[in-house]
Amino acid sequence: MPKTLKITEIASDPSMNIVMDTLALGKQALVFVNTKRSAEKVAEDISKKIKEENNELDKLAEEAGKAVSRPTKQCERLALCLKKGIAFHHAGLAHKQKSLVEEHFRKGSIKIICATPTLAFGLDLPAYRVIVRDLHRYSQHGLAWIPILEVHQMFGRAGRPSFDNEGQALCIAATPVEKEKITERYLKGLPEDIFSKLAVEPVLRTYLLSLISSGFVSTHEQAVSFFGKTFWAHQYKDMEKLEGIIDKMLSLLEEWEFIMGPSDDFQSADSLDDAKYQPTALGKRVSELYIDPYTAHFMLSRLQEASSKKIELFALLHVISRTLELRPLLRARTKDFDKIQEYLLRYGNSLFEEEPSMYDPEYEEYMDSVKTSIMFDEWIHEKGEDYLLETYNIRPGELNAKMDVADWLLYSMSELVRFQHYPAMLKEILKLRFRLRYGVQEELLPLVRLENIGRIRARKLYSNGLKDLAAVRKADITKLTQLLGKNIALNIKKQVDGEIKEVVPGKRKGQISLEDY
């Protein structure tokens, strides 16, 4: 049974009052809001109302503030909140910051987390109180109620079984009418139906190729029967239409030379029904890479045209920025157009896709893809996280996620190019992948091979005349200590002395071998 809570009003904002009340009780709370910016703002507002600080929190704040190579405004903001035992949590935080916040909330040193829905899914972070401040979220059709399923997930964070006998989940209503609406929708209402993700073409063609490539499905009938048993078919109902979609996918995969179809096999087969689909070597690889077959086809067909051109890394960045996997892209705004034009002027001729006309419906997305490529380009020219946040409004966590996908796409691209026997291209792709991973210019590549040497330290070494491993090996230990501190100096000295070869395999997870190029 819901009971009535008496909350003292200190501020005009009800969620703030509930938070302060929770703190007075000595309990913890999660506040859910609908944007990253709001999460930060609310956390900041709360922290301003808190007086006490302590040593442990100071240390935590310092650690979180230094989580990326060049602290951003976001890092400073988080650090200020943490000093008061308050935190915000969203996908824009660096990985380390997220886990710090989670860990210290569990330990109890952080009292309040203001979060976007990230925190509602997956993570087991219970709190005495859950405050769902925002129940609307911007969507393409204007503001919309957030899904019931999602709100229930948030509610589910309330109450810590091992600490409390109860948990409280609260929504904020501005008017009695709204209160009624919220009760109907989120307390009495049933969660939405779940829809199969297979219904989306990219997902479908990826699975189809994988089924054929693994030998699980080899005829048209088998494919139809397999998908006929899925949840997707169950929801879709119209088997005829479904069969049509599968047919279309099969012929596309065949056209792209990822599978060999019955038509190729017709002579040897007794009848059309016996004719089998078989994966090509290329198709098998595409399936293993787990990229959308369309993406694979797109990359291959673009790069094929390239043999006559000089290969620009920017053009490769642009190819990956045009794929489905890299979406959502950065949005090109009016203020970005000068920079975009500048890049198009410089690289336009070497790009694999021409700029569409301004009236082309594709135009906007093309501009977005160029802007995204520029962001990557600035990263491999050693621009810092702080700069990228200011310029592209991309936070460290989001940047990381994008880089991950880009790395995977470049790896896939390099694997596909092997089928085209095009060594010059392969070399450029590998170089780009390496540069993107470390965010460095080409000249620093030898140095970042060392453990504990990232973009910042590598640049430091380089600008002090230590331009490659041989130079580092010859360098005086006092000079190295001056540049990098004692521990790291000793450490890299150990690495370069004699056994450079060993350094490469032993490095971090996900290492790319330089021997490749």
Partner DNA sequence: GGACGGTGAAACTTCAGGTTGCCTC
Partner DNA sequence: GAAGTTTCACCGTCC
Contacts with DNA by CB under 7 A lie at 33-38, 40-42, 90-92, 116-118, 121-122, 134, 136-138, 142-143, 150, 288-291, 325, 328, 331, 333, 393, 401, 404-405, 407-408, 411-412, 505-506, 509-513
Q: Which of 310, 289, 389, 348 is nearest to 74 (CA)?
A: 389
Q: Between residues 5 and 144, which has the closer beta carbon with respect to DNA?
A: 144
CB of 165 to DNA, least distance (A): 31
Q: Which helix (H) or strand (E) holds 130?
A: strand 129-132
CB atoms closer than 10 angstroms to residue 115: 25
Q: Between residues 121 and 359, which has the closer beta carbon with respect to DNA?
A: 121
CA distances from 342 to 346, 354, 369 (A): 6, 15, 15
CB of 349 to DNA, least distance (A): 30
Query: For residue 364, which amino acid is it?
Result: E
Residues near 40 by beta carbon (within 8 Å), at least 6 away in sequence:
74, 77, 88, 114
CB of 333 to DNA, least distance (A): 5
Q: Between residues 10 and 144, which has the closer beta carbon with respect to DNA?
A: 144
DSSP of 64-114: HHTSSSS--HHHHHHHHHHTTTEEEE-TTS-HHHHHHHHHHHHHTS--EEE
- Give SS3 for 31: strand
- 251 touches 261 (CB < 8 A): yes
Q: Between residues 401 and 483, which has the closer beta carbon with respect to DNA?
A: 401
Beta bridge partners of 89: 115
Q: Between residues 292 and 312, which has the closer beta carbon with respect to DNA?
A: 292
Beta bridge partners of 374: none
CB of 282 to DNA, least distance (A): 14
CB of 412 to DNA, least distance (A): 7
Tokens standing for residue 236:
């879709």
Question: To which residue do tokens 């709100």 refer?
Answer: 151
Q: Between residues 263 and 452, which has the closer beta carbon with respect to DNA?
A: 452
CB of 116 to DNA, least distance (A): 3
Residues near 263 by beta carbon (within 8 Å), at least 6 away in sequence:
254, 275
- Cα separation of 285 and 275, whole Å? 23
CB of 334 to DNA, least distance (A): 7
- Cα separation of 3 and 484, whole Å? 60
Residues near 200 by beta carbon (within 8 Å), at least 6 away in sequence:
none
CB of 33 to DNA, least distance (A): 7
Q: Between residues 91 and 224, which has the closer beta carbon with respect to DNA?
A: 91
- 331 touches 370 (CB < 8 A): no
Q: Between residues 255 and 288, which has the closer beta carbon with respect to DNA?
A: 288
CA distances from 295 to 298, 355, 377, 409 (A): 5, 19, 21, 9
CB of 6 to DNA, least distance (A): 25
CB of 146 to DNA, least distance (A): 7
- Cα separation of 32 and 42, whole Å? 10
CB of 225 to DNA, least distance (A): 24
Q: Between residues 74 and 484, which has the closer beta carbon with respect to DNA?
A: 74
Q: Between residues 88 and 462, which has the closer beta carbon with respect to DNA?
A: 88
- Give SS3 for 497: coil
Q: Between residues 33 and 317, which has the closer beta carbon with respect to DNA?
A: 33
